[in-house]
Amino acid sequence: MRKWHRWLSVFFGVFMLWIAVTGVLSQVAVLWPSGAPDAAAQAAAAPPPGFECPEGWRCMPPRGDAGGIRSLTGLFHHLHSGESFGPIGTLISVLSGLTLIFFSISGLWLYVQMWQNRKSRSLNPRWFWK
């Protein structure tokens, strides 16, 4: 298990770093303040004439013009999902997600094995050790 954990991390570590950075950037872009004045924000919040929110739905007012970093949200999403690099990029993105699941499970497995090994050698089986 340790060998697989080590070898997969060499290859997929770069892709997972890419996915992590672009995912953070896409969220920062969405949460970034728009800097629009209050009057413009209120005007943009008005629904178009004749629009009714369907029953049972919570309708959000439109955000108005997405300027600055918010306009890059779509680009960050395409980079994050690998769509910008075609089918190979999407495949690598999916494989990176699967390896992230593998790293989570195998890392926990390795930790439990080390903890049991310390316990069997009559060492202090603390949760964290040096």
pLDDT in tens, 22-57: 888 888 877 777 655 555 555 555 666 777 777 877
What pTM, to 2 d.p., does this model score?
Answer: 0.54
- Does some domain include residue 31? yes
Q: How far is CA 104 from CA 10, 59, 64, 90, 115, in A?
A: 15, 38, 40, 21, 17
Quote the pLDDT of residue 41: 53
- Does some domain include residue 15? yes
Rounded CA-CA distance 3/34 in Å is 48
Q: What would the pLDDT profile of 42-100 be if each residue is shown by its tens digit? A: 555 566 677 777 787 777 665 555 567 777 888 888 888 888 888 998 898 888 888 88
Q: CA 66, 69, 70 angle in degrees (round to 5)? A: 35
- Does some domain include residue 128? no
Q: How many domains does the chain have?
A: 1
Which structural domain range is residue 73 located in? 2-38+66-120
- Does some domain include residue 73? yes
- Does some domain include residue 60? no
- Does some domain include residue 13? yes
- Does some domain include residue 57? no
